[in-house]
Amino acid sequence: MTTDLEIARATTLRPITEIATRAGIPDEALLPYGRLKAKIDPALIPDTGRRGALVLVTGISPTAAGEGKTTTTVGLTDALAAAGMRAMAALREPSLGPCFGVKGGATGGGRAQVGPMEDINLHFTGDFHAITSANNLLAAMLDNHIHWGNALGLDTRKIAWRRALDMNDRSLRQIVGSLGGAANGVTREDGFDITVASEVMAVFCLATDLADLQERLGRMVVGQTREGKLITARDLKADGAMAVLLRDALMPNLVQTLEGTPALIHGGPFANIAHGCNSVIATKLALRLADVVVTEAGFGADLGAEKFLDIKCRQAELSPAACVVVATVRALKMHGGVAKSALAAEDVAAVRRGIANLARHVENCRGFGLPVVVALNRFSGDTEEEIAAVKEAMAALHTEAILCTHWGDGAAGAADLARAVRRMIEHGAEPYLPLYPDAMPLAEKIRTIARRIYRAADISLPPSVAKRLEAFTAGGFGHLPVCIAKTQYSFSADPTALGAPQDHILPVREVRLSAGAGFIVVVCGDVMTMPGLPRSPAAERIMLDDQGRIDGLF
Amino acid sequence: MTTDLEIARATTLRPITEIATRAGIPDEALLPYGRLKAKIDPALIPDTGRRGALVLVTGISPTAAGEGKTTTTVGLTDALAAAGMRAMAALREPSLGPCFGVKGGATGGGRAQVGPMEDINLHFTGDFHAITSANNLLAAMLDNHIHWGNALGLDTRKIAWRRALDMNDRSLRQIVGSLGGAANGVTREDGFDITVASEVMAVFCLATDLADLQERLGRMVVGQTREGKLITARDLKADGAMAVLLRDALMPNLVQTLEGTPALIHGGPFANIAHGCNSVIATKLALRLADVVVTEAGFGADLGAEKFLDIKCRQAELSPAACVVVATVRALKMHGGVAKSALAAEDVAAVRRGIANLARHVENCRGFGLPVVVALNRFSGDTEEEIAAVKEAMAALHTEAILCTHWGDGAAGAADLARAVRRMIEHGAEPYLPLYPDAMPLAEKIRTIARRIYRAADISLPPSVAKRLEAFTAGGFGHLPVCIAKTQYSFSADPTALGAPQDHILPVREVRLSAGAGFIVVVCGDVMTMPGLPRSPAAERIMLDDQGRIDGLF
């Protein structure tokens, strides 16, 4: 079997200058990083008045079987380009940490990949390193302020700002810092999150320009006084230097698919603690350059699409023209109760049971007023009857389920999907309907998502959490959207409840203010913001071969 | 007064492709990072047989007055180029951390600067971020190994590997990690060094190619078993992934001086815990491209030049053709006992007293068999009599002291210095004499440096330290050179003993094995491997102006 890496290596990518020229990017706006990557300065792109159509790729609740959302995003973009449209993908940058754990790369698969895959999966153009630096400069300035006398009166028991590293490192989740005496500062509990979980990452992805970035950075809350007054990054005078560290990073990165279609890959906030989509700046730039822009949101549609619409599109005033929900027969079987080890056997009944999950995601996306199509990402073991079961069930919902084989066939494998998407775009869509208005009380926003998207009977809100929501509202943050952090594996907060559970209670455990990003994080159940490495991490098998090429990163 | 920043902004840098062409670098070897920076792949540079002359710029013991070593390196390179020689500078990359503390940038000053200064001082081409990532991947794999059962039997009380960040952050000097329960690993004491103090940085700067890099990374010691068996990065299978993270970073970075002379800026190990010079790969590449390469070593000649010669040149089989010792009248006055606040007043007697420091550095450099010239970096307040005092004292030592004004005048201000250096190159020099042979016992190596360079009466070696040196020798590391970590402000271990103290005792406090870098670190007195921020850090004043340019970084 041919691996993703072998396919990537067998493909000769074109010079990025050529990709840029075909995408209508003038030379002066292009800052090459080697021959195959470039940053684009949006300020130097002439406004032709073009405003492309935005297509959201989302998916069913993820399973261990894998669904192929990124692969479908790439395949669809290639197919739209092959059909003669000016198409562009807008994707998230992968995090370095998981590459060395179990996940491997995050640049699609098969013949539907973006490249250069090694670069994109490793340091790329350094954006995440810049975000890590900005996060940690703020942390250093915070502890330095306390060390030199704490003039702002920060309550050191209630520091809200954590340090960050782009690494899977469980040892740093919970630490005590400033040990070893007075010269090392004021001892306190602290911890590191993985960089994609930093609020700086969320801010980076929601900012509309450099000025907005600095403004948002300044608003970020790092702690409070004993009297409860919030202390921000601006109070520490850290916002200017943080913006300086992020200046170059804020320019979107141009790369290409293996078929030579342009792709902007920029930003990558965690899809649990944050909103999980690529940067607003890249999406808006892509829409100015292309007639159709295909983008992706993290996790299943319950989390990803909801946050994409209620946070990113709301803040950035975007509205998608179409929504693609990705599913696989294998994953539907898992939602239907089949174990991963038993996926090879045909099981039409299990597929039928699992379709409940897909159907609910489709309904939810339609509830936002979006035209929806299902991409059934074919695996070689899928049988005709299993596929027919999905198509029939979707037809009953008046939704097309289109078989895709872009993993093996590239653009040709997503040609039918591209035709369907094109029809939806040409038909035109009304602006999407946000799930709740800004003015709705925060607790009610949570309840609305829980009932309408997760089909919960209600939420459980401990009095202490309700009180914090009231404090946020009193502090002027009541108008913000909410960003739910819960397991991605289920509509409920129980990761083992696959399929389409309903009438459950969504347990709200904790709420956190992300004043810079502009949302309230609502933690339901356990949420991990610093992953660990597995017993035998992928890093042990990543190495250079005798030609200096990178092996083991796939 | 015109600031460094204003001068840098008033200068239009040439496209890096043009600088590369003039330096004889073929297009295919050039990987541009934006328009003004590029990485060079040494493997794609044709070997013309050229082997340029290497010129070392070093200095007197540094004082608060500032000496201008980098500025002189840049001015001299420009002057050699202006005189028609094919000249190139080989410099260290600045660390991000100190930029936000007190130091500001590290790219020279006045009309003797390298650019683009904001880029070089901030993320540059991401080399330090790659080194940070490699350092912390090893740390994560180490704690992960312990977490999953510690099959190698590491003694968790004696872990030798620390984490790293390119940030001044005293809170991270000493921490306890893995708190919060079994899921977060095995609780132990830990700490962070600034990235430039990581052994990965030293390894990066001493490696001759990618294979040597991986080999050295694998040799790095991370801890030991209860039985005293050393455990290495290779035992943890981390060397491959670390080399992958460093692959692109290992290519030298090409930039230019404000006068358009090419400069390779690559690597930047701390000059206390490590050897303090730019990468061997960059120096060797520069020597293949230019007729004369001007390079710099950290701190005064007692630390910088000694390590440059006994560690870098020894390992890389290099030998400088000339040595420039930089001094200023102001700094000599401080060595002569004048306070910083009183430097403005003429004080010829103090200059004469302070010359003892300069004279000893000159003698030491000559002791290595190097032709030596003194660059007297002129400040506007220096009087004719003060300058004459320096010249006379040097003449008595048969050494030329040449007045330089490159800060204000660029290449023209270092024309005399360039002529002197050129004469020394044309005259030819024998290979330098290492201070000690490989075979000398480790304690004797330390004593030799202490007596011959620092003019100490002897060293004090606690029995526990002597025992560790014996263990290193028994372990097969007795042939390594030693890397002294002591205060840079004095020949002695007492930072307040300015001038030329002698017959002191060098107190050896601790020794550490850097098996990957290939030296034994000898800590004499306190050595700080993670700086802190001052009460009012420079970061508070670093910001973007209304044109998006960076202010406050100088």
pLDDT computed for residue A102 by the predictor: 82
* Backbone angles phi and psi of A360, in degrees to 5: -70, -40
CA angle B388, B390, B395 (to 5 degrees): 95
Q: How far is A20 from chain B (nearest CA, A)?
A: 14
pLDDT computed for residue A138 by the predictor: 98
pLDDT computed for residue A482 by the predictor: 98
Could you read off the pLDDT of B366-392 as tens digits, one per residue? 999 999 999 999 999 999 999 999 999
Three-state secondary structure call for residue A145: helix
- Partner residue facing B171 (CB), from A126, A143, A540: A143
One-letter amino acid of A540: E
Counting residues of chain B whose pLDDT is more than 70, the rounded percentage is: 99
- CB pairs < 8 Å spanning A and B: 226
Q: Which run of H or of E encompasses B139?
A: helix B127-147
In the predicted model, what is the mean pLDDT of residues B400-423?
A: 97
pLDDT computed for residue B438 by the predictor: 97
Could you read off the pLDDT of B330-375 as tens digits, one per residue? 999 999 999 999 999 999 999 999 999 999 999 999 999 999 999 9
Give which of B93, B175, B234, B530 to mutate to test A binding, by max A Cβ within 10 Å. B175
Contact B272, B485 (CB under 8 A): yes
Who has greater pLDDT, A298 or A252?
A252
pLDDT computed for residue A200 by the predictor: 98
ipTM of the complex: 0.96
In the predicted model, what is the mean pLDDT of residues B18-43?
A: 96
Tell me: pLDDT of A104 over 70.
Answer: no
Residues of A in Cβ contact (< 8 Å) with B145: none
Q: Find where tokens 């098969």 sit.
A: A110
Q: How far apart are CA A138 and CA A201, in angstroms?
A: 13
Q: How far apart are CA A92 and CA A75, in angstroms?
A: 16
Q: Tell me the pLDDT of chain A averaged across its residues.
A: 96
Q: Tell me the pLDDT of chain B averaged across its residues.
A: 96
What is the token pair recorded at A492?
């409920």
Stated length of chain A: 554
**Among B350, B355, B349, residue whose Cα is nearest residue B340:** B350
| Residue A339 CB coordination number (10 Å) | 9
pLDDT computed for residue A417 by the predictor: 98
pLDDT computed for residue A554 by the predictor: 66
Give domain A4-117+251-427's CATH number out of 3.50.50.60, 3.40.50.9100, 3.40.1190.20, 3.40.50.300. 3.40.50.300
CA angle A76, A80, A85 (to 5 degrees): 155
Residues of A in Cβ contact (< 8 Å) with B533: 140-141, 144
In the predicted model, what is the mean pLDDT of residues B151-160?
A: 97
Could you read off the pLDDT of A220-271 as tens digits, one per residue? 999 999 999 999 999 999 999 999 999 999 999 999 999 999 999 999 999 8
Q: Residue A552 — pLDDT band, cuts 50, 70, 90? A: confident
Q: Do B137 and A176 touch (CB under 8 A)?
A: no
Q: How far apart are CA B392 and CA B300, in angstroms?
A: 22
Q: How far apart are CA B72 and CA B59, in angstroms?
A: 10
Tell me: pLDDT of B1 over 70.
Answer: no
**Whether residue A437 has a cis bond before it, omega within 30° of 0:** no
Shortest CA distance from A164: residue in chain B:
B165
Counting residues of chain A whose pLDDT is more than 90, the rounded percentage is: 91
In the predicted model, what is the mean pLDDT of residues A425-441?
A: 95
Contact A33, B30 (CB under 8 A): no
In the predicted model, what is the mean pLDDT of residues A413-432?
A: 96
Q: Residue A9 — pLDDT band, cuts 50, 70, 90? A: confident
**Among B23, B6, B7, B4, residue whose Cα is nearest residue B89:** B23
Is the domain spanning B442-524 CATH 3.10.20.30? The answer is no
Contacts (Cβ under 8 Å, ≥6 apart) of B384: none
Could you read off the pLDDT of A492-550 as tens digits, one per residue? 999 999 999 999 999 999 999 999 999 999 999 888 899 999 999 999 999 998 888 88
| Residue B352 CB coordination number (10 Å) | 17
Three-state secondary structure call for residue B262: strand
Could you read off the pLDDT of B191-202 as tens digits, one per residue? 999 999 999 999
Contacts (Cβ under 8 Å, ≥6 apart) of A24: A48, A86, A289
What one-character DSSP code corresponds to residue B196? G
Give which of B44, B172, B234, B246 to mutate to test A binding, by max A Cβ within 10 Å. B172
* Backbone angles phi and psi of B460, in degrees to 5: -110, 125
Q: Find where tokens 């260290």 sit.
A: B92
In the predicted model, what is the mean pLDDT of residues A152-169?
A: 97
Question: Which string of b and e fits B132-160 if b means at least 16 CB within 10 Å?
Answer: bbbbbbbbbbbbbbbbeeeebebeeeebb
Contact B365, B356 (CB under 8 A): no
Q: How far apart are CA A89 and CA B361, in angstroms?
A: 61
Residues of A in Cβ contact (< 8 Å) with B122: 244-245
- Partner residue facing B542 (CB), from A96, A173, A241: A241
Contacts (Cβ under 8 Å, ≥6 apart) of B347: B333, B336, B338, B386
Could you read off the pLDDT of B463-504 as tens digits, one per residue? 999 999 999 999 999 999 999 999 999 999 999 999 999 999
Tell me: pLDDT of B315 over 70.
Answer: yes
Contact B96, B125 (CB under 8 A): no
Q: Where are the domains of chain A?
A: 4-117+251-427, 127-246, 442-524
- Partner residue facing A179 (CB), from B174, B184, B241: B174
Tell me: pLDDT of A103 over 70.
Answer: no
Q: Please tell me the CATH code under which domain B127-246 is placed.
A: 3.30.1510.10
The tally of CA atoms less than 13 A away on the side-chain side of residue B221 is 20
Tell me: pLDDT of A207 over 80.
Answer: yes
Q: Are strands B192-194 and A519-523 parallel, antiparallel or unpaired?
A: unpaired
Q: Do B241 and A540 touch (CB under 8 A)?
A: yes
Counting residues of chain A whose pLDDT is more than 70, the rounded percentage is: 99
Give which of A137, A168, A236 to mutate to test B binding, by max B Cβ within 10 Å. A137
pLDDT computed for residue B104 by the predictor: 61
One-letter amino acid of B258: L
Stated length of chain B: 554
| Residue B51 CB coordination number (10 Å) | 13
Contact B366, B424 (CB under 8 A): no
Residues of B in Cβ contact (< 8 Å) with A164: none
| Residue A508 CB coordination number (10 Å) | 25
Question: Which string of b and e fits B484-520 if b means at least 16 CB within 10 Å?
Answer: bbbbbbbbbbeeebbbbbeebebbbbebbbbbbbbbb
Q: How far apart are CA A31 and CA A529, in angstroms?
A: 33
CA angle B221, B225, B228 (to 5 degrees): 80
